[in-house]
């Protein structure tokens, strides 16, 4: 993982001039023309990169979501572009999360279970009782890192199919908000000419307000949906115990 981060950092440093906003703005029309002529190739590549980033737990999913929304908006127009970007991001993020879930279950699950059997036994009990609700809540609320959710859920009896569809459903509201925000980003030429002030026009400003309000909206919804058992101390304790276990194990594993 460290080698991958160093490789990405080196590429960014080596080709910083080519990746600068000024250079990209100057070649924006050329890049979009390439996308129109090779649409399937570009979208397949973007999907594959998104899956790889999500499966590897790299912190680039938000940037890729903005890129997908911006690209779809310019290739297909407002409504078709929005729908297409939501579909690509939704399925790519869920696919990547499921791959990470399966890798963790088959490569790390036995080691973690043998080391922290007591904490995980309590966690399993909570999952059997309210597992679908907890996964849905964690997917809906962008507070707990998604890579940690993938790791935690891989230790549970949760079926892969259930993990898939709940993740798909739970991440959809956030995907809608982030895709809308990305679709409101102006062209690179406008952004390069006017700077960040171009983001304060009504469309981008509404998107930024939605992003800021999203966690509060989600919290209100999840409080209404919360099952009775969620108030039981042992359920909360199980979740806190497992997340501490996961962080500790991952740090030790990577170290």
- As a three-state string, the secondary structure of 175-228 is HHHHHHHHHCCCCHHHHHHHHHHHHHCHHHHHHHHHHHHHHHHHHHHHHHHCCH
pLDDT of residue 87: 97
**How would residue 251 be classed by pLDDT, with cut points 50, 70 and 90?**
very low
Q: What is the pLDDT of residue 111?
A: 72
What is the C-alpha to C-alpha distance for residues 112 and 68, in angstroms, rounded to an integer? 36
Residue pair 153/163 in contact (Cβ under 8 Å)? The answer is yes
Whole-model pTM: value is 0.72
Which of 177, 208, 216 lies closest to 90, judged by CA? 177
> What is the pLDDT, as a whole number, of residue 97?
94
Range of 55-69, 125-139, 182-196 with top mean pLDDT: 55-69
Which range has the top average pLDDT, 23-27, 108-112, 224-228?
A: 108-112
* Distance from C-alpha of 92 to C-alpha of 99, rounded to nearest angstrom: 11
Whether 43 shows a pLDDT value over 90: the answer reads: yes
Higher per-residue pLDDT: 234 or 224? 224
| 185: alpha, beta or left? (left if phi > 0; alpha if psi -120 to 50) | beta
Q: Residue 222: is its pLDDT beyond 70?
A: no
Which range has the worst mean pLDDT, 2-16, 74-88, 102-116, 189-203?
2-16
Quote the tokens at residue 181. Answer: 């925000």
Residue 241 has pLDDT above 70, yes or no: no
In the chain, what are the domain boundaries?
Answer: 58-254
Residue 177 has pLDDT above 80, yes or no: yes
**Coil, helix or strand at residue 75:** helix
Work out the mean pLDDT of the chain and round it to a whole number: 73
The answer to whether residues 171 and 142 touch, using CB atoms and an 8 Å cutoff, is no
Give the integer Cα–Cα distance in Å for 226 and 135. 12
Q: Confidence band (pLDDT; 50, 70, 90) for 25?
A: low
Q: What is the pLDDT of residue 101?
A: 92
What's the pLDDT at 68? 93
Residue 92 pLDDT level (bands cut at 50, 70, 90): very high
Tell me the percentage of the chain whose pLDDT exceeds 70: 55
pLDDT for position 10: 44
């Amino acid at each position: 993982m460290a080698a991958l981060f160093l490789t990405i950092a080196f590429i960014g440093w080596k080709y910083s001039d080519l990746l600068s906003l000024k250079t990209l703005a100057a070649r924006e029309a050329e890049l979009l023309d390439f996308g129109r002529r090779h649409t399937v190739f570009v979208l397949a590549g973007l999907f594959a990169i998104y899956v790889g980033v999500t499966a590897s737990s790299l912190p680039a999913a938000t940037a890729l979501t903005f890129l997908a929304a911006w690209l779809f908006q310019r290739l297909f127009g407002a409504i078709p572009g929005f729908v297409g970007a939501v579909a690509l991001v939704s399925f790519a993020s869920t696919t990547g999360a499921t791959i990470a879930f399966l890798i963790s279950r088959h490569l790390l699950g036995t080691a973690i279970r043998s080391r922290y059997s007591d904490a995980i036994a309590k966690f399993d009990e909570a999952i059997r009782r309210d597992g679908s609700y907890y996964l849905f809540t964690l997917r809906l609320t962008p507070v707990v890192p998604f890579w940690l959710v993938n790791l935690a859920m891989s230790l549970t009896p949760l079926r892969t199919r259930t993990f898939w569809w709940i993740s798909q459903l739970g991440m959809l509201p956030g995907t809608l908000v982030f895709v809308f925000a990305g679709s409101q980003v102006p062209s690179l030429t406008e952004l390069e000419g006017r700077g960040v002030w171009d983001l304060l026009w009504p469309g981008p400003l509404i998107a930024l307000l939605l992003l800021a309000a999203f966690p509060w909206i989600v919290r209100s919804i999840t409080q209404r949906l919360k099952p009775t058992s969620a108030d039981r101390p042992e359920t909360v304790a199980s979740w806190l115990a497992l997340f501490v276990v996961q962080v500790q194990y991952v740090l030790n594993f990577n170290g």
